Amino acid sequence: MATTWRSALSLYMLLLMVSRGLSLASDGNKIEPVDTKQDTRSGSHGEAASSSDSGSEVNVTLTTLPIVSWKWEHVSEPYLVALWIIVCWLCKLIIEANHHVTNVIPESALLIGFGFILGGIVWGADLAQTFKLSQRTFFFFLLPQIILDTGYSMPNKLFFGNLGGILVYAIIGTCWNAASLALSLWGCQKGGAMGDLDIGFLQYLLFGSLIAAVDPVAVIAVFEQVHVNEVLFILVFGESLLNDGVTVVLFNVCDAFVTLGGSKINAVEIIKGIISFFVVAFGGSLLGFAFGILISLLTRCTKNIQIIEAGFVFILGYLSYLTAEMLSLSAILSIVFCGICCQKYINANMDESSVNTVRYAMKVFANGSETIIFVFLGISAIDKTIWVWNTGFILLTLFFILIYRFMGTFILTWILNRFRLVPIGLIDQVIISYGGLRGAVAYGLAVMLDETRIKEKNLMLCTTLIVVYFTVIIQGITMKPLVTWLNVKKASVSEDSLIEKVQNKVFDHMLVAIEDISGQIGHNYMRDKWNNFEDKWLSKLLLKPSVRKNRDNIFAVFHRLNLKDAMSYVAEGERKGSLEFIRNESAFIDFTKKFDDKFSEVMSDIMADTSSHYNRGSSMRRDPVPSVCLEVHEQAIKGMNGVEDSHHLLQQHLYKGRKQHLHRYSRSNFSVNTDENEVQEIFQRTMRRRLESFKSAKMGVAPPKKISKHTKKDQQQKKPNGNSADKCKSYHSGDEDFEFSEADSANGYDVPGSLPMRVTYRAGAGIENPTFMPDPDPTASMHIPPWLADTEVDSSIAAPSQRAQVRLPWTPSNLRRLAPLRLSTNSTDSFMLPEAPATQQRGNEQQPPSAPPPTKRHM
Amino acid sequence: MGSRASTLLREEEIEEIKKETGFSHSQITRLYSRFTSLDKGENGTLREDQVNFRGFMRTLAHFRPIEDNEKNKNPTASEPLNSRTNKLLFAFHLYDLDRDDKISRDELLQVLRMMVGVNISDEQLGSIADRTIQEADTNGDNSISFNEFIKVLEKVDVEQKMSIRFLH
């Protein structure tokens, strides 16, 4: 009940949509009927006509300046194309939204059904079928991307492993289908089963050849949903792919024969036909290989134009198609082998994001045009002019197609099985036969038929349509139950595991060895030879040197598995806390990023711990000077050692620079990186300076560092406003980086890199960077709010207490009041007091031009 | 050539081999000629391992594809050499160099080193080996026993992947 209602609703929606679209379209038709008439014949011609028309119109009617004008003719053609594309895709959207329907009826059949409806609407509006799938549109704009996609995503090993079978089915099977159908129909006509028809034997042959081919589009659409085992899939799929090429070649040869006429055909012509068949097929394949190599070579050197390197694949693939068409070779075979040949190399050569782009864009194009093809197959049917009914012809064609498909498959498989290691079972043979769906290629070829030479073109066309509908809809729907009923071995979904990969490789090597020992040249031996050849020559030629190095199957799997683990690890880790411990082992990766991450973690920790304390206090600390911690350090050093000059130096370089940076950073995020050298220089100078003063001090610096960190953190946390938080963050990261390298080079601490990760993390409980906590001090519990910690330290140790004058470095007496004041609500005045000079100072120091931020050092 | 080989091979011997390995008569004679051509010392054995023709055939028999009529012949009879378990056992012994019925990390490393290219560093290879063992190791002894080996390769189509088509 519900399902029918929903589908009815969706249908209604679609109708609404389409009729709206069509009212536009029919407007266009009324205004300019010439355009749509030409549309079916030649796109470019129509376009030229329309543009010249609209141009003259503008010239004539322009009497006053129009503010806006209605220019439908101006855009009609691309507009209609876009409109039809969106309508087709919306059909797919609706279909895919109803899973219970697609579970029973394959998508392709539903799309054809939608096409019927749309065609009915168009017919109702125009009383003629103005929109038809022209063979030009189909072969030039819809088919190439589908074939390229199938070639590009072809499982190579499987394909070449079964190439013998595929070729036999594709070439011999197709020829058998064509010839047997032609003969039988001709015989039936002679026997008088189809009434009075003006079709000669050659024309039957032509018809047989166009309808012989299994269509890859239809086959994939159906077989993808039934998940049969991979060998069966590759057999059906590979056959359908290659026999498209074969059938086009066959069609062309037969077409030439028909043109020549029966009397002129002698043995020489037939032999020439056969030769041409092979030349066209293999020439097309070779051309495809050449283009595939070209793409691979090209992607070797597209490092600098990474943004468009993905485009090369498409454009060169398309060019291979067009070139083959130009040379009257098999365009379909050309683009298939182009995709098959280049996939491995371009996937290795291109940047990973480009590979993903290719992969997804390919799917978008292929799926998109597949949808359009099916919808238009449906639309094309709603046209009174093409329908010529001849019961005998149509039914006999259907019958013979089914019968000969089964016969051909069984005979060929019987021959094949004598040579196959794993024979094709009876059930698989049934599925292969039953999966012989005809599709758009047959229709496209039928449209190509020349009416002047073939009197019964329309009969052939509508028979083709009926065959397509019958196979796609009826066989498509029954395919799934049949697969279940026959208990066809389904594809096993196995997880990637390293040991399987290793073992498979061992098996391969083993088989090669055994073939070698037993002294026979089997296909394992050939594959090994090919692999060696490829390793030695092809990959040297086609792969980037950098890629060539780390291209090992097992290692790739290992890498992939590790990546997967890392992903789940991050997910898990983030749920439990921070992942900062990674820094223990790799000290020089991008710090800024990690610090940011860590800060957010830490912030939440502190927030949780102390939220009750400083909910109120936060309001007054909303505008802390981001550089406070620096002040702290400077002040601390100064206070400790009286090294006045170092302090001055720091003030001159680092301090001002940072102020400057902060100012600029707040305005434009990207102007920061400008003079790297200066950044480096200042950074190093200040660092050295600080290090010297630090060494001379010879003081335990850990506690103040900790404290300063606290300060930073809670400052950061208090920032409600994202911009200043950003400032603060970047600032801090720079500072911490600084501290870190200092600590490192000073050898003041032993970096507990060897500590187990978990332990470090727990001990840290929020502030866990071991480099900053060189001697884990159990007394300084991190759960104590920073300012409380300050006072604690203050009361216990004299020297660090001075350094710990976090916010009020000016006088020690201020510090005494600090902790309680911060927690009190009334402390605004006394709290703000020390801030005043700092802000003042900042204001003064804005002018100095130097010193871009040290933050960027690691970026 | 075949006739020369079969003269050297006694008829009852062929029958025995046929029974044991399941090879056909023509296959056995063909392989015997191959064997004699490999047998440089012409003493009926291969190399220092002293593999005689029976052993040679037994090894090759592991790679004979399983035929349909063999699958359900009679389960009581001893397993043919080309059964799944025997194929796996053969593969297992390729790793198990010291014949302790366990694949240790070192043994796996040796096999891996032979297979992967030179571009993989020893550490990487080590971690690959570690991971491979982890995947299979269920009892935590850091090595793969035959049972673990069978279990982890459950989904692999060994019958197909460890078979070649012997010429007649």
pLDDT tens figures, A341-364: 888 888 888 888 889 999 999 999
**CATH code at position A179:** 1.20.1530.20
User: Is the residue at A171 inside a domain?
Assistant: yes
Could you tell me if A489 lies within 8 Å of chain B, comparing CB atoms? Answer: no
> What residues does each domain of chain B span?
11-62, 79-161
Size of interface A-B (CB pairs under 8 A): 98
A 10 A CB-CB count for B36 gives: 17
The verdict on a CB contact (< 8 Å) between A421 and B152 is: no
How many angstroms separate the CA atoms of B18 and B10, rounded? 12
How many angstroms separate the CA atoms of A654 and A661, rounded? 10
The pLDDT value recorded for residue A736 is 41
Closest residue in chain B to residue A499, using alpha carbons only: B132
Residues of A in contact with B131 (CB under 8 A): 498, 558, 561-562
The pLDDT value recorded for residue A12 is 53
Closest residue in chain A to residue B111, using alpha carbons only: A506
Residues of A in contact with B135 (CB under 8 A): 497-499
The pLDDT value recorded for residue A679 is 64
Domain, as residue range, for A530: 496-553
Residues of A in contact with B31 (CB under 8 A): 518-519
Superfamily covering domain B79-161: EF-hand (1.10.238.10)
| Same domain, yes or no: A408 and A544 | no
Residue among B60, B112, B135 minimizing CB distance to A518: B60
| Cβ proximity of A849 and A583 under 8 Å | no
pLDDT in tens, B39-48: 776 666 766 5
| Same domain, yes or no: A362 and A445 | yes
Residue among A420, A492, A515 minimizing CB distance to B155: A492
User: Is the residue at A7 inside a domain?
Assistant: no
| Same domain, yes or no: A479 and A501 | no
The verdict on a CB contact (< 8 Å) between B128 and A554 is: yes
The pLDDT value recorded for residue A495 is 65
| Same domain, yes or no: A352 and A403 | yes
Residues of B in contact with A514 (CB under 8 A): 60, 63, 164
Closest residue in chain A to residue B112, using alpha carbons only: A502
Output the six-digit token pair for A800.
């660090």
| Same domain, yes or no: A333 and A418 | yes
Residue among B60, B119, B135 minimizing CB distance to A497: B135
| Same domain, yes or no: A183 and A310 | yes
How many angstroms separate the CA atoms of A534 and A528, rounded? 10
> Please, is A102 exposed, middle or buried when counting C-beta atoms within 10 Å of its C-beta (0-12, 13-18, 19+)?
middle
User: Is the residue at A98 inside a domain?
Assistant: no
**Residue B121 region, left (φ>0) first, then alpha (ψ -120 to 50), else beta?**
beta
How far is residue A493 from each of residues A42, A106, A154, A238, A564, measured CA to CA in Å? 48, 22, 18, 21, 17
Query: Is residue B152's pLDDT more than 70?
Result: yes
The pLDDT value recorded for residue A591 is 39
User: Is the residue at A793 inside a domain?
Assistant: no
Residues of A in contact with B128 (CB under 8 A): 498, 554-555, 558
Residues of A in contact with B158 (CB under 8 A): 507
| Same domain, yes or no: A386 and A518 | no
| Same domain, yes or no: A447 and A521 | no
The pLDDT value recorded for residue A18 is 47
| Same domain, yes or no: A348 and A428 | yes
Q: Please tell me whether the overall predicted TM-score, pTM, comes out greater than 0.90 for this model.
A: no
| Same domain, yes or no: A505 and A480 | no
User: Is the residue at A139 inside a domain?
Assistant: yes
The segments of chain A whose pLDDT lies below 70 read 1-62, 262, 492-496, 548-552, 576-679, 681-682, 694-859
Q: Å from B157 to nearest chain A CA?
A: 10
User: Is the residue at A527 inside a domain?
Assistant: yes
Cβ partners under 8 Å of residue A746, min gap 6? A691, A694, A695
User: Is the residue at A451 inside a domain?
Assistant: yes
Parallel, antiparallel or unpaired: strands B51-52 and B144-145: unpaired
| Same domain, yes or no: A333 and A354 | yes
**Residue A227 region, left (φ>0) first, then alpha (ψ -120 to 50), else beta?**
left
Torsion of CA A231, A235, A238, A241, to 10 degrees: -140
Domain count within chain A: 2
Residues of B in contact with A499 (CB under 8 A): 132, 135-136, 152-153
Q: Å from A520 to nearest chain B CA?
A: 7
User: Is the residue at A74 inside a domain?
Assistant: no
| Same domain, yes or no: A464 and A505 | no
The pLDDT value recorded for residue A93 is 93
* CA angle at A755 for the pair A749 and A757, rounded to the nearest 5°: 125
Output the six-digit token pair for A108.
């392709």
